[in-house]
Amino acid sequence: MSKYFLITVSFIGDKLRTKIMSKSIKVLGTGCAKCQSVTKVVKDAISENNIDATVEKVEDMMEIMKYNVMVTPALVIDGEVKIKGRVPSKDEVLKFLK
C-alpha cells in the first residue's frame, strides 16, 4: 500500500511555508447504532493521537452507492473504502491513518 501526502508550498516574502493537508474521513451509513459506533471510534482515534483529519458522516444512499458500498457501516479514508459492514477497532483506524 502506498502512502502519500499532499503538500502545498508557498512563498511569503523570503519565507517558505509548507502545509500537510489533513486526512479526509467519511463514515458511510444510515445512522444506525453501528454507524454511530464507527463515528465514535474514528473521532476517539484522531483526538487521542492528535491526528489532523476531517470526519464527515454520509447518510444519503445515492452518495453511499457511489463508493460501491452495499452494506453499512463503511469507512472511507482519502477516497478509498477501508472497511465495509463492521465496526473497526481503534487500532485498525490508526493503521489506516498512518
Is 14 a member of any domain? no
Is 18 a member of any domain? no
CA distances, 93 to each of 11, 16, 43 (Å): 35, 33, 10
Active-site residue, 45 included:
no
pLDDT greater at residue 75 or residue 98:
75
Q: How many domains are contained in the chain?
A: 1
Question: What is the residue range of 68's domain?
Answer: 23-97
Is 46 a member of any domain? yes
Please tell me the number of Cα atoms within 13 Å of 22 on its side-chain side. Answer: 11
pTM of the model: 0.77
Which of 32, 65, 70, 71 is labelled catalytic?
32
The Cα–Cα gap between 72 and 59 comes to 10
**Stretch (H or E) spanning 27:** strand 23-28
Is 17 a member of any domain? no
pLDDT in tens, 13-37: 555 544 456 899 999 999 899 999 9
Active-site residue, 32 included:
yes
Which of 35, 45, 46, 93 is labelled catalytic?
35
